[in-house]
Structure 1
Amino acid sequence: MTLDTISIMNPVVVLPTSKNHTSTIIWLHGLGDSGLGWYFLVEQLAPLFPTLKWILPNAPLRSVSFNDDATIPAWFNVASFDKTSHLAQVDEKGMLESVAYVNSLIESEANNGIRNIILGGFSQGCVMTLLTGLTIETPLSAIIGVSGWLPLGEKFIKMASKTNKQTPILMCHGDDDPVVKYKYGRSSARYLKKIGYNIEFKTYEGLGHTTSDQEIQDITAFIQQHLTTTTSSKL
């Protein structure tokens, strides 16, 4: 797949399948990034999943306190990534606006007859992946969260839907992450498992706030497993 096959429909980057479209993955980028920032993932995985359509949304531009109030792509405002800081105010309004937007993308795929939908994301995109995937009413085949955390604490329980309670979840986190601390991702995974979610958590020794070859391999295997399982169950 080359860049000239990409359809950029602001604010969504869509990478079509090379064969009959049976599945869709929606991948959410991190703070200050863009959908095309994750094109490398599509380059690596598209040949392995020829019936999988990729949707890489672009977060809206907003003033971000953590970035000296500069306007950058962000799914929600963030003042500090240190959850113990007095600056760590939660932009619930921004989060819920992004949940509604991502859910609209998911519903659009479902309304077009696609039943195998995976939602994934990195950093802020991981936050929105977990919050969206676990509160919406549309079934997902799998959920992938990389280098992020589950937001909103007790409010999440009130918002949570039963629809994806047993949907397989993969969370990945480097234990040397200086931006989103490893302990936040690990504690989020432990909490979700404690309250009954089907979650797998993988640790990457020495990895910072980025991805690694091993992490990409694990994500690939997870997609392969759950697309195959879901597709076979519908035959």
Structure 2
Amino acid sequence: MYQHSKNIVTAGLPVENAKSALIMIHGRGASAESMVPLSSYLDTRDMAVFAPQASRHSWYPTSFIAPVEENQPALDSALEIINELVQDIIKAGIPAEQIYFLGFSQGACLTLEYVTRNAMKYGGVIAFTGGLIGEEIAMENYRGNFEQTTILITTGDPDAHVPLKRVKESAAIMEKMNGKMHVVVYPVKQHTITNEEIDVANQLFFSADVNQV
């Protein structure tokens, strides 16, 4: 088992000049560098972009629906890296309600797990194919109030790695915690990020109309 070191790739505006921040969390076998170019397809012109890098290119060793102990201590270490990054961004002057999260696959699961354990008003949450982590969902881990944070979860039906049942269970929990949920299910979608998903994310989070509200 392994611990993660704090290794953050940055892009976009310098944090001291930015109005908001986007945390991009990569999937298994990928890298922070591979996530950053995705931000060019989103309207992130006023944002500082942060992409943490997992040790060994994986946030935890086995499936997200395996017993949690099989993914420890890597999972706790990954959550701590994300928490440290969030605190660093807040200390730099960007409040939590202007912090956005975007993750894919394993990174989407980690994203949802982090924000639901630390629910508050965020800028927004984008989970491209993911759900809450654990063989069983441990409700005692989740606390706080999303205060109507917009949360997008997309997935395919079926998906080889993420059961639709877990996506729906996760969305229901987050909705009870006052998340403004958008769940989009695509039939026969490959396990990747599609143009359609990027379009939905732009419409919900990054369009000029949204940012003027």
Give the alignment's TM-score, normalised by structure 1: 0.75
CA distance in 2, matches of 1:197, 1:76: 26
What is the aligned counterpart of 2:203 among 221, 228, 235? 221
Distance in 1 separating the partners of 2:158 and 2:60: 24
Larger radius of gyration: 1
Provide the C-alpha distance between the structure 1 equivalents of 2:111 and 2:180, rounded to a whole number of angstroms.
15
Distance 1:49 1:209 in 2: 24
**Matching of residue 16 in structure 1 with residue 19 in structure 2:** no
After superposition, the C-alpha distances for 1:9-41 in whole angstroms (9 at most, x for unaligned) are x72110032894111000101111101112331
Residue 173 of structure 1 is matched in structure 2 by: 155
Instruction: Describe the SS at the equivalent of 2:80.
Output: helix
| Mapped contact 1:142–1:226 kept (Cα < 8 A) | no
User: Could you tell me which of 15, 34, 39 is aligned with 1:42?
Assistant: 39
| CA 114–228 in structure 1, closer or farther in 2 if over 3 Å, else same | farther
Q: Alignment partner of 1:134: what SS?
A: helix
Alignment of 1:82-161 (within 5 A): 83=65, 88-90=66-68, 91-115=71-95, 116-136=98-118, 139-152=121-134, 153-155=136-138, 157-161=139-143
Q: Secondary structure at the match of 1:119?
A: strand
Rounded to whole Å, the distance in 2 between the matches of 1:201 and 1:14 is: 29
Conserved? CA contact 2:120–2:144, under 8 Å: no
- The letter of the residue matching 1:55 is F
The answer to whether the Cα contact below 8 Å between 2:27 and 2:104 also exists between their aligned partners in 1 is: yes
- Residue 181 of structure 1 deviates from its aligned partner by 2.9
**1:160 positional shift:** 1.9
Question: How far apart are residue 108 of structure 1 and its match?
Answer: 0.6
Counting aligned pairs with the same residue, the percent is: 24
Higher RCO (C-alpha 8 Å, min separation 6): 2
Number of paired residues? Answer: 202
State the partner residue of 1:60. Answer: 55
Following superposition, the deviation at residue 149 of structure 1 comes to 1.0
